[in-house]
């Protein structure tokens, strides 16, 4: 009976759509045997490491081996107590390799790993460069938000015969992980990698990281446990600061300081850098400047400071000069606010914003070749962090207005310790 049961388990696993296990109750039916007898035989096979067991109480759906196997003694204990309709039996890797020809999966390395019995949610780590081809190709719908993303195909290209079938891939989710040096890497569960075409599995396999890595905890909690992330991204905080500043402007009777805010949908490209090149860094600086300096509403300052000034010329005539948006903000802060010691706080707010403008002007006035630089993601985060801190200071300044002190309260997380760079 032991050999017959093992053969049934192997056959079911091979023939299933998604490398599934067979229910213990179903196995008893197939064998036309008493459940206790089948359970005892399965226990013996488990001790010999020829089968493994999944349970509803561990991993949810037992028909899919989502998580690594429980220790052997725990499997045997649950085998005796769990319902036979909530327990599935799988062949072990040793049993599969001893009886199955896996050569058909040679061109699909990640599918082969599932066919060997690895858990579906095994994380696999890759260098960031693996995303480059999808990031640059407009035929792919590439989405990335802080610690997770997805890759699909723009609709018309999915239907197009000119777009090769081998390139019609969909990756439901990928996340962020870290090398021991904290350098970012990409993490994808084996289940989703196995759905790629053979050609793209080969591409991804070439970028596998060969050193130990850790998956971001928020990505793991969201995708494995179905829990809300514990932290908030600094990129999310930046956009929230702008929305809160506009809210405060309304409370104190002023027009919005920022012409546009992005509560519903982020600007494209406003996310941690995943392709570390100087061109991407320059593009982000350009975007950040548009979100700050070019986004400032001059009408906010009307009635408080002059929006124009006359400048005498050498020929005796005068010119009308309109100060830039950052200069207006500096003049307004200097004329309206001081810290507790009476010091001008405008510089603390304006310095990082001017840094962004200065960095933007460099690529705007020069031809520069693109370059790969793994330090750029950290440089981008640092720049964003300094800009976010400037907005936080500005929000607290507006909050000190008598009309806002009692009537305004920010989101709890915005002044807490949950803001991170993923």
pLDDT at 365 over 70: no
φ, ψ for residue 27 (rounded to 5)? -65, -40
User: What is the spatial distance between Cα 420 and Cα 165, in angstroms, rounded to a whole number?
Assistant: 40
The pLDDT, as a whole number, for residue 284 is 96
Pairing of strands 148-153, 123-126: unpaired
The pLDDT, as a whole number, for residue 268 is 87
pLDDT at 364 over 80: no
The pLDDT, as a whole number, for residue 368 is 67
Helix (H, G, I), strand (E, B) or coil at 137: coil
Paired tokens of 314 = 């050498």
Helix (H, G, I), strand (E, B) or coil at 312: strand
Pairing of strands 309-312, 232-233: unpaired
For the stretch 33-48, pLDDT in tens is: 999 999 999 999 999 9
Q: Point out the least confidently predicted range of 262-266, 292-296, 368-372.
A: 368-372
Q: Is the dihedral of CA 15, 22, 172, 116 positive or negative?
A: negative
pLDDT at 301 over 60: yes
Helical ranges in 234-294 per DSSP H: 234-251, 278-291
Cα–Cα–Cα angle for 244, 250, 251, rounded to 5 degrees: 90
| Mean pLDDT for the stretch of residues 223-251 | 94
| Mean pLDDT for the stretch of residues 400-405 | 94
Query: What are the extents of the domains in the chain?
Result: 2-100, 104-224, 233-420
For the stretch 194-226, pLDDT in tens is: 999 999 999 999 999 999 999 999 999 999 888
pLDDT, the chain, mean: 92
Q: Point out the least confidently predicted range of 83-87, 135-139, 367-371.
A: 367-371
CB burial readout 218-229, b (16+ within 10 A) else e: bbbebbbeeeeb
The pLDDT, as a whole number, for residue 220 is 94
Burial of 405 (0-12, 13-18, 19+ CB in 10 A): exposed
Angle between helices 278-291 and 346-364 (to 10 degrees): 130
């Amino acid at each position: 009976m032991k050999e017959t049961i093992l053969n049934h388990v192997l056959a079911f696993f091979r023939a299933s759509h998604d490398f599934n296990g067979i229910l213990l109750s179903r196995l008893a039916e197939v064998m036309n045997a008493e459940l206790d007898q089948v359970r005892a035989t399965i226990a013996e096979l488990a001790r010999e490491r020829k089968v493994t067991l999944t349970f509803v109480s561990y991993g949810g759906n037992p028909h899919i081996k989502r998580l690594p196997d429980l220790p052997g003694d725990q499997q045997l204990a649950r085998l005796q107590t769990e319902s036979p309709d909530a327990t599935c039996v799988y062949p072990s890797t040793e049993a599969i390799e001893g009886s199955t020809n896996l050569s058909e999966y040679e061109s699909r390395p990640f599918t082969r790993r599932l066919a060997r019995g690895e858990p579906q949610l095994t994380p696999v780590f890759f260098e960031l460069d693996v995303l480059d081809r999808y990031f640059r190709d407009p035929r792919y719908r590439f989405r990335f938000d802080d610690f997770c993303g997805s890759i699909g195909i723009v609709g018309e290209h999915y239907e197009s015969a000119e777009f090769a079938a081998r390139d019609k891939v969909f990756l439901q989710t990928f996340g962020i992980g870290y090398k021991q040096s904290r350098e970012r890497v990409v993490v994808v569960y084996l289940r989703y990698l196995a759905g790629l075409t053979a050609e793209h599995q080969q591409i991804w396999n070439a970028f596998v990281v060969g050193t130990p890595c850790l998956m971001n905890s928020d990505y793991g909690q969201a995708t494995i446990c179905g829990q809300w992330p514990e932290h908030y991204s600094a990129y999310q905080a930046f956009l929230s600061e702008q929305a809160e500043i506009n809210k405060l402007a309304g409370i104190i009777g002023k027009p919005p300081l920022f012409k546009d805010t992005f509560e519903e949908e982020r600007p494209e490209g406003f996310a941690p850098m995943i392709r570390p090149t100087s061109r991407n860094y320059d593009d982000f600086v350009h975007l950040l400047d548009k979100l700050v300096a070019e986004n400032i509403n001059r009408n906010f300052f009307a009635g408080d400071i002059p929006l124009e000034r006359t400048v005498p010329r050498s020929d005796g005539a005068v010119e009308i000069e309109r100060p830039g948006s950052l200069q207006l903000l500096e003049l307004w802060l200097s004329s309206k606010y001081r810290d507790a010691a009476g010091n001008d706080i405008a510089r603390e707010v304006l310095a990082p914003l001017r840094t962004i403008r200065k960095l933007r002007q460099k690529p705007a006035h020069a031809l520069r070749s693109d370059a790969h630089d793994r330090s750029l993601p950290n440089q981008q985060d640092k720049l964003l962090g300094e800009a976010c801190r400037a907005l936080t200071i500005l929000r607290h300044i507006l909050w000190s207005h008598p009309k806002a002190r009692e009537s305004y309260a920010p989101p709890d997380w915005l002044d807490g310790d949950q803001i991170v760079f993923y």
